[in-house]
Amino acid sequence: MTEVVHTPRVFSGIQPSGGLTLGNYLGALKRFVEMQNSGIETLYCMVDLHAITVWQNPDDLRHATRELAAGFIASGLDPQKSILFNQSQVSAHAELAWVFNCVARMGWLNRMTQFKDKAGKNRENASVGLFSYPNLMASDILIYKATQVPVGDDQKQHLELTRDIAAKFNNDFGVDHFPITEPKIEGAATRVMSLRDGAKKMSKSDPSDASRINMTDDAETIAKKIRKAKTDPDGLPSEIEGLTDRAEAKNLVNIYAALADMSVEQVLAECGGKQFSEFKPMLSDLAVAKLSPISGEMARLMEDTSEIDRILGDGARKANAIAQPILEETYDIVGLIRSK
């Protein structure tokens, strides 16, 4: 087998299953922008086919997809530099996912913790799509032979599965077709926690709105949520060890560090000794300063959704031009006839 050197290419996706949160911004979007600006080829996708693995109201789904696109652009993704599109407009994602349904093993998917969390107690009633979700995610990445995938910490297991699928496909067919993708899980906020419970991830699907900061929250709401965020009675330590077993305190420091582009050590060197009554207003001022230009720009972009749809269509055409030849090559490897 010849060793293929795969060209660096970045792919990532976010589900339009609700509004963007600060967790999405710090864990994913901010990193997407950094990678775009580093000059590598980047593709970023609104994964609408993933969103429908749990029922979505069709009008809400359309709105959330456009708002997510607005959030991408407002955060600094430039449709001239990155390929921005919604997944369902590039049919190769779903087609390659079928091939991967035939490569991945039941046992692998049975181990996926996100499925267990999302399906909850009533697993018999979960959609088949929710179960095979990681195969579609592997397809999103490998249909572009993407080599790097920036995500938050919760996606680690899915990316390991993507690597397993690529390796099994290559091995089953004796080829070096798909790259073994590198996860990029980096920065001070790879896992932003709920503001109400330091043991739970901040999530767009948490029933409590006070648990998260939404990218569309106004300054007053952000300040109120941070003021009410759960903490312990102690002040900030000056060393990182002083945050051990203090999940809520640690979370607020991590958020501050990520927003300010500082390390946690730097934040503690500056703020060690302060009480939360002093640190929380600093954090909310910083959050408002960083987030309100983004939410303002999102609102402006949402005034003209036809322009957003145009950008998504344009991105889908570019994405399709990369994906289609890789799909054809894959079908050929598998032995599926393509009439010219």
**35 makes contact with ligand TRP (CB under 6 A):** no
Contact letters (x/-) for ligand TRP, 82-121, by CB under 6 A?
Answer: ----------------------------------------
**284 makes contact with ligand TRP (CB under 6 A):** no
Which residues are 193's β-sheet partners?
Answer: 201
DSSP symbols for 152-208:
-GGGHHHHHHHHHHHHHHHHHHT---S--PEEE--STTSSPBPSS-TTSB--TT-S-
> Least Å distance between CB 27 and ligand TRP?
9
Looking at beta carbons only, is 189 or 268 nearer to ligand AMP? Answer: 189
Q: Residue 201 catalytic?
A: yes
Two tokens, residue 158 = 């899915």
Residue 295: CB atoms within 10 A of its CB come to 21
**Rounded Cα distance, 38 and 334, in Å:** 36
Looking at beta carbons only, is 50 or 145 nearer to ligand TRP? Answer: 50
Residue 179 touches which of ligand AMP, ligand TRP, none (CB < 5 to 8 A by kind)? none
From 119-127, 149-157, 221-229, 236-244, give the range in contact with ligand TRP by CB under 6 A: 149-157
**65 makes contact with ligand TRP (CB under 6 A):** no
**231 makes contact with ligand TRP (CB under 6 A):** no
Crossing angle, helix 58-74 and helix 276-301, to 10 degrees? Answer: 110
- Tell me how far CA of residue 177 lies from CA of 24, 93, 97, 113, 329, in angstroms: 31, 16, 16, 28, 9
State the residues that interact with ligand AMP by CB under 6 A: 14-15, 23-24, 27-28, 151-152, 154-155, 189-192, 201-204
